[in-house]
Structure 1
């Protein structure tokens, strides 16, 4: 087609030599490990008396992050369907952090190289647009589940 780019993705992938250099992916892996272990073994919502969503308590409407504590707890206890119902995007993020735990172990223990991605400005533009759309769709889901559950029946 004339005028249509031959490729939609110009992502550059760099695969470094095997190493054990601590990097950003390892930070995400350690954060994921700590977060999922805390969600699994420490009942944070029950221990902290002021735990809750101030926005939801004030307005009656959920905030963008409502359901994330439940997601972490449910993913850590392998209740994936309930986690998805609480906050789908949070569930995807929890799975991403769990994946990063595995990548971190493979990288630091076995010196597995972690691919480095470089996006063009055009690709970053589309990542931002799609990101905003996904966040808005997720928030719509959270609002419907909490305020209008009869619409899902």
Structure 2
């Protein structure tokens, strides 16, 4: 029950925030709403072609804040933070994997494939329901619904 209430709340926030992001040519990567030591925080992670600047975050924060003030979906005080997902961003959707084709990722699965739950390799192919990694000289295809967590590996 508690999880369902959170999902409905998350959906409501997304319905407010995502159109604003799209209107100004940003992609809503993720939303996070949680209680922290200094109070409630709504984090909005955004991206765009060419990357996100501090100015982008400030600009979109102002737009989102105005709309949240009007629609007032959060019944108590909170802090709004708008930021980029960072270099080691999580990959959650098909388009996230597509955008990072050829890059190295670390994937943890919900259940084993070929006797393993963790894979590290380069994104080789993405289709409607799976991602294929190139690991050394072999390939492994992973259904998207079996991915628990996928993170880019930052190489310097």
Please indicate the TM-score interval, normalised by the length of the shorter structure: under 0.3
Richer in strand (by share): 2
TM-score, scaled to structure 2:
0.23
Considering Cα pairs closer than 8 Å and 6+ residues apart, tell me whether 1 or 2 has the greater RCO: 1
**Structure of greater Rg:** 1
